Amino acid sequence: MNPITHNIADRVKQRVIPWIQTAQPRMESIARNALAFAHKRPLLVISSLATTGLLLLVVTVAAATEDTLPQNIAESGGKESAGEENRTSVTVLPELVDNASTVMLLGTVLSNKTANIFPRRDGIVEDVLVDIGDTVKKGQVVAVLLSKGVEGESAAAIARKKAEKAQMEAEYNTSQNVAKQSVSKAEQEIAEKREALAVAMREQDGMLQRLKLAGTNVEQMQDQTFVTLRSARQTIERLLLGSNARTELDIREQYLLPNLGITRRETRYNILPLFNAMKKLEDSYEKAPEKERESLMRELLEVSQKVFPAMHALVAATGLTPIPLPGRGISMDPAEITAEVHDTQSMVLEAKEEWENALLMERELSANEPELAAKLRGETAKAQSNEVKLLAEELKTAEEEVSLIASEQDQMVKIAEQGVNIADAELRMETAQSGNRQILSPFSGIVAKRFIEVGQIVMPSDPVFELTDVPTTLAKKAKAEIQFGLPENLLSAVNVGDTVQFFRQSDEEQMYEAVVTRKSPQVDAETHIIMVQARIPDELNLPHRSSVRVRLMDEERPVFRVPATAVKREEDANYVWLLSPDTQKPTRTAVTVIAEDGEFAEIAGAITVESRIILDSPLLFAETHPLQP
Give the residue among 527, 614, 603 at the shortest CA–CA distance from 577. Answer: 614
Q: Residue 224 has what pLDDT? A: 94
Tell me, what's the pLDDT at 460?
86
**What is the Cα Rg of the chain in Å?**
61
Residue 501 C-beta-side C-alpha neighbours within 13 Å? 10
CB-based burial of residue 275 (10 Å sphere; 0-12 exposed, 13-18 middle, 19+ buried)? buried
pLDDT at 43 (0 to 100): 42
- From CA 99, how far away is CA 608, in angstroms rounded? 11
**Cα dihedral 83, 85, 86, 89 sign:** negative
d(C-alpha 615, C-alpha 578), whole Å: 9
Positive or negative: CA dihedral 144, 150, 152, 153: positive
The β-bridge partners of 467 are 115, 447
pLDDT for the residue 3: 45
Residues 6+ positions from 143 with CB-CB distance below 8 Å: 119, 125, 127, 128, 129, 130, 438, 439, 452, 464, 465
Which contiguous run of DSSP H or E holds residue 167?
helix 156-241
Phi and psi torsions of 336, nearest 5°: -65, -35
Alpha-carbon span 120 to 142, nearest angstrom: 13
- The confidence score (pLDDT) of residue 247 equals 59
* Strand arrangement of the beta sheet that strand 115-117 belongs to: 115-117, 465-468, 445-450, 135-136
Alpha-carbon gap, residue 277 to 279, rounded angstroms: 5
Say which DSSP state 329 is in: T
Half-sphere exposure of 111 (CA within 13 A, CB side): 20
Q: Which residues of the chain have pLDDT under 70?
A: 1-88, 148-155, 245-248, 431-436, 475-477, 617-629
Largest CA distance in the chain: 196
**DSSP strand E in 137-260: where?**
141-145
Q: Return d(Cα 148, Cα 137) in angstroms, integer.
A: 27
Secondary structure (3-state) at 549 = strand
Closest CA to 14 of 50, 66, 53: 66
Note whether 203 and 391 are within 8 A (CB): no
Q: Which residues pair with 554 in a beta bridge?
A: 101
DSSP for 226-278, written as a single string: HHHHHHHHHHHHHHHHSSS---SSS--GGGS-TTTT-S-THHHHHHHHHHHHH
Give the three-class secondary structure for 462: coil
Q: Which residues of 477-510 are buried (b: 16+ CB within 10 A; e: fewer)?
A: ebbbbbebbbbeebeebbeeeeebebbbeeeeee
pLDDT tens readout for residues 444-457 = 989 989 999 998 99
**Cβ count within 10 A of residue 350:** 12
Q: DSSP readout, 55-70?
A: HHHHHHHHHHHHHT--
- Tell me: the pLDDT tens digits for 59-84? 344 444 443 333 333 334 433 333 43
Residues 240 and 287: their CA atoms lie apart, in Å, by 26
